[in-house]
Amino acid sequence: MTSCPITAAARIRYLLDLLAQVPDPRKRRGRRHPLAGLLAVGIAAVIAGSRSFAAIGQWAADAGPDVLAALGADRGPAEESTYRRAFALISANILDLVLGTWLYTRATQAGGRLVIAIDGKTVRGAKGKDGKAPHLVAALAHGTGTVLGQVAVDAKSNEIPAVRDLLKSFADLAGAVITIDAMRAGGRMSRGASAVQSARVRDRPMELPDSVLKTTALRAGGLGQADGLPGPARTG
């Protein structure tokens, strides 16, 4: 397997480019730290093993100025409460899309193709408004085990519509190999999967889908233009 040919520094810049597009719900007055830097530090802390906002705050305090600057936190570490408020206010769906788009740059390829497994799981220890545990359909990259995207399954439906919505959220799956079990590959879904497998893979990172950019008023320009990254993939 080979990984996407992007350097670690370029991946960080690409992550910051994506995070800069997340709408900042905070009041302008009193902002000291840029939202993208807060989110990037929080993501890095979780990757490093932090499992609470207190741990994120401690990780940031110990990271040092060079690490924080690379993550867009030029003003130094924030307080634990600042990270907590930032993550509580932003849209979880948009953050999920940002992380999935960024993790695509870490996906490995087998025989020149990106291989993605589609599977559904019930989230343990969580409850929705109806008191039931949410059921998600996720796209998992083979080789790295990273989740590139996920959508919730409607309580009154099954996984097939959720799988369609999940695949639509990718800017480009041309040439990718999609693995999916028989229960989810019925009718138009199975024909769509065959079409995806027969096309050609573009060797470049994806951008946030146009539908998300329009509905959340995210800025459309500048994605993927950091040094070492090609321009954004476009569909249609």
What's 127's domain CATH number?
Answer: 3.30.420
Task: Report the pLDDT value the prediction gives residue 9, as an integer from 0 to 100.
Answer: 80
In a domain, residue 219? The reply is no
Same domain, 136 and 54: no
Same domain, 182 and 140: yes
In a domain, residue 53? The reply is yes
Structural domain count of the chain: 2
- Identify which of 4-13, 73-82, 120-129, 180-189 has the greatest average pLDDT: 73-82
Please compute the mean of the pLDDT values over residues 164-175 and round it to a whole number: 81
Percent of the chain with pLDDT over 70: 74
Task: Report the pLDDT value the prediction gives residue 183, as an integer from 0 to 100.
Answer: 53
Task: Report the pLDDT value the prediction gives residue 74, as an integer from 0 to 100.
Answer: 93
Chain segment 70-98, per-residue pLDDT in tens = 999 999 999 999 999 999 999 988 998 88
Rounded to 5°, the CA angle 151-167-150 comes to 25
pLDDT at 103 over 70: yes
Same domain, 205 and 116: yes
Identify the band that residue 49 occupies on the pLDDT scale cut at 50, 70 and 90. very high
Identify the band that residue 182 occupies on the pLDDT scale cut at 50, 70 and 90. low
Same domain, 140 and 187: yes
pLDDT at 230 over 50: no
Identify the band that residue 104 occupies on the pLDDT scale cut at 50, 70 and 90. confident
Same domain, 126 and 203: yes
- Please name which of 41, 38, 44 lies closest in space to residue 25, comparing C-alpha atoms: 38
Same domain, 113 and 85: no
Same domain, 30 and 61: yes
Say how far apart CA 47 and CA 140 lie, in whole Å. 17
Task: Report the pLDDT value the prediction gives residue 59, as an integer from 0 to 100.
Answer: 97
In a domain, residue 159? The reply is yes
Same domain, 139 and 168: yes
Q: Is 78:33 a contact under the CB 8 Å cutoff?
A: yes
Same domain, 77 and 128: no
Same domain, 42 and 71: yes
In a domain, residue 95? The reply is no
In a domain, residue 168? The reply is yes
The residue segments making up the domain with residue 124 are 109-209
